[in-house]
Homo-oligomer: A and B are copies of this chain.
Amino acid sequence: MSLRLYDTSTRTVREFAPVEPGRVTMYLCGATVQAPPHIGHIRSGVNFDVLRRWLTHSGYDVTFCRNVTDLDDKIIRVAASEGVPWFVVAERNQRAFTWAYDQLGCLPPTVEPRAMGHVPEMIELMHRLIDKGHAYASAGDVYFDVVSYADRYGKLSNQKLENMRAAGDTDTDSLKRDPRDFALWKGAKEGEPTWPTPWGRGRPGWHLECSAMATKYLGGTFDIHGGGVDLIFPHHENEIAQSQAAGDGFARFWLHNGMLQLGGTKMSKSLGNSLLIPEMLTKVRAVELRYYLVSAHYGSAIDYSEEALQESAAGYRRLEGFVSRAAEVIHDVDATAPLPQAFVDALNDDLNVSQALAVVHEVVREGNVALSQGNKEAVARLLAETQTMLGVLGLDPRSPQWRSSGESGLHEVVDALVAVALEQRQAARARKDYAAADAIRESLAAAGVVVEDTPQGPRWELAR
């Protein structure tokens, strides 16, 4: 079975094939950097990172473009309330997003364009639309003429133009030919940053940016466009209208991730402050947070609760525990181990990561049995499979991402020091000084090192 993906625009699961054999071009609507990210924002980045890794593992050369929207109404408001220019807010929050993506193990995008750096490309696109009769200038604004595109407008969001209502923006309705028209460009307003255009100074409409950036970096027709389900309408509908009306093929597959909810409602800033990434990383480790965010199907809603998070993290630690114990026995892991077919099938089935993780857990169960039986050959095979599968998902506990160079040096020091303490405990037992042996065990526990005696000798791990 080859990769099949649920395409929002056809509302079917379709066999995936790229425009150009061997190469995938992929655009993800990234952050509007008005505030630092909460896990709802990062869920999208992490899930599309898994898709990208899977495409790469499947042999494709992936060009992955994730944009930054560095100006919008909210950024202007935040900047005004702080008394700083808009770009100070944008820069600061963009760094916070990059940091969060990095922490969560998202591979860097091939290119990460900022919207306000693409005004010439937006002007060119507006020229093309005006020339073809799909857009018009009006008192410094430029609008897309939805009626000119009526037969195709609404396809992505499965609506008909005649059933759509206007946004009801009374400020601009008088400037529009039809109240359902949307702004490609907004004329200058007092106190707002502006760029020059043939129609006067102003700033971009949000939808226009993504059409301009996606086609600049990926070409007029590209393979996959991703984003949250909350972007289907109007943002993605309008991207399609702009680009296809201008003559581009635009995206061939539309993928949408579900929302992360708190108690059944979409996360908002007031609810979500406790879910900012630095806060989250006091609750669980980054790799555990990543595991939690990918373990539900990307398209489904997640109702966040700390209990579910901690349960999920415990699930990851079971996988990690096997890898760690098995690695004590097997020093030479076969990095080329083939993936179990059930794992491949799960990911090819519209990126069913929860099913793929069920396969990993099954292999780890077998691995633990093999370990307890001292079946080294089976342990070697099952460890290799586990690490390869987790590697594809960006979750291999022994990857450099999760064992940073700075820490790995210290991990080795900790390993050696624990060995010193365990030898002393052994020596104390040998001289029948059981009080001393117990004291060492207690001191270790106080240091965060939990020792368990097993028939194979003492095992230890760091308490979280």
> A residues bordering B, Cβ < 8 Å?
63, 85, 87-88, 91-92, 95, 108-114, 116-120, 123-124, 195-196, 217, 404, 406-407, 410-414, 416-421, 423-424, 427, 436, 440, 443-444, 446-449, 462
Contacts and interface: CB of A to CB of B under 8 A. Distances in A.
Contacts of A427: 436
B112 A413 contact: no
A118 to B, nearest CB: 7
Given A217-B87, A443-B423, A118 B120 contact: no
Contacts of A446: 416
The listed residue with most B CB atoms (<10 A of its CB), out of A124, A417, A421, is A417
A449 to B, nearest CB: 7
A447 B120 contact: no
Contact of A112 (B91, B420, B421, B424): B91
Given A196-B124, A443-B423, A447-B413, A87 B108 contact: no
A303 to B, nearest CB: 29
Contacts of A417: 414, 417-418, 420-421, 444, 447, 449
A442 to B, nearest CB: 10
A284 to B, nearest CB: 13
20 contacts: A87-B111, A88-B111, A91-B108, A91-B111, A95-B108, A114-B117, A407-B407, A410-B410, A413-B414, A413-B447, A414-B414, A416-B447, A417-B420, A417-B421, A417-B444, A420-B421, A420-B443, A420-B444, A421-B421, A424-B424
Contacts of A95: 108
Interface of chain A: mostly helix, strand, loop or mixed: helix
A216 B417 CA distance: 56
A53 B356 CA distance: 50
Nearest to A88: B110
A448 B108 contact: no
A440 B413 contact: no
A412 B87 CA distance: 39
A436 B416 CA distance: 17
Contact of A116 (B112, B117, B420): B117
Contacts of A406: 404, 406-407
Given A91-B110, A111-B88, A440 B424 contact: yes
A416 B417 CA distance: 10
Given A91-B112, A117-B117, A421-B424, 20 more contacts: A91-B111, A92-B108, A114-B114, A124-B196, A404-B406, A407-B410, A410-B410, A413-B447, A413-B448, A413-B462, A416-B443, A416-B446, A417-B420, A417-B447, A420-B424, A420-B443, A420-B447, A423-B443, A424-B424, A427-B436
A281 to B, nearest CB: 8
The listed residue with most B CB atoms (<10 A of its CB), out of A109, A420, A444, is A420
Contacts of A440: 420, 424
Nearest to A115: B117
B88 A416 contact: no
Contacts of A413: 414, 447-449, 462
Contacts of A423: 443
A405 to B, nearest CB: 8
A279 to B, nearest CB: 13
A151 B412 CA distance: 66
A412 B118 CA distance: 48
Contacts of A414: 410, 413-414, 417
Contacts of A196: 120, 123-124
A278 to B, nearest CB: 9
**Closest 4 A/B residue pairs (Cβ):** A117-B117, A416-B447, A417-B417, A410-B410
A350 B366 CA distance: 68
